[in-house]
Structure 1
Amino acid sequence: MTDQDLKSRLQNWIPKLVLSPSLALTLVFVYGFILFTVYLSFTNSRMLPNTDFVGFANYERLWGLRAWWVAIKNLAVFSSLYIVICIGIGLMLAIFLDQKIRGEGMLRPIYLYPMALSFIVTGTAWKWFLDPGIGLENTMHMWGWESFEFRWIKDRNYAIYTVVLAAVWQTSGFVMAMFLAGLRGIDNEILKAAQIDGASNWNLYRRIVIPLLRPAFLSAFVILSHLAVKSYDLVIALTGGGPGRATELPATFMYSYTFTRNQMGTGAASAVIMLMTIAAIMTPYLYSELKEKR
Structure 2
Amino acid sequence: MRRLPIPDEVTGHEIDPSVRQELMSLPKTLADDVARNLVMVARLLDEEPEQAYAYSRVALRLASRVAAVREAAGFASYASERYAEALAEFRATRRMTGTVDLWPVMADCERGLGRPERALEMAGAPEVHKLDKAGQVEMRLVAAGARQDMGQAEAAVVTLQSSELASNAVHPWTARLRYAYADALLAVGRESEAREWFAKALEADQNGTTDASDRLAQLDGVEFVDAFDDADDSDDDADEVDESDDADERDDVTAADDEADDEDESDDSDDEPAAPRAAVEVDEESDLTDEADPASFLDSPFREPAAGDKDQ
TM-score scaled by length of structure 1? 0.20
The structure number with the bigger radius of gyration is 2
Provide TM-score, normalisation by structure 2.
0.19
Tell which has more relative contact order, 1 or 2 (C-alpha 8 A, sep 6+).
1
Higher normalized helix content (fraction of residues): 1
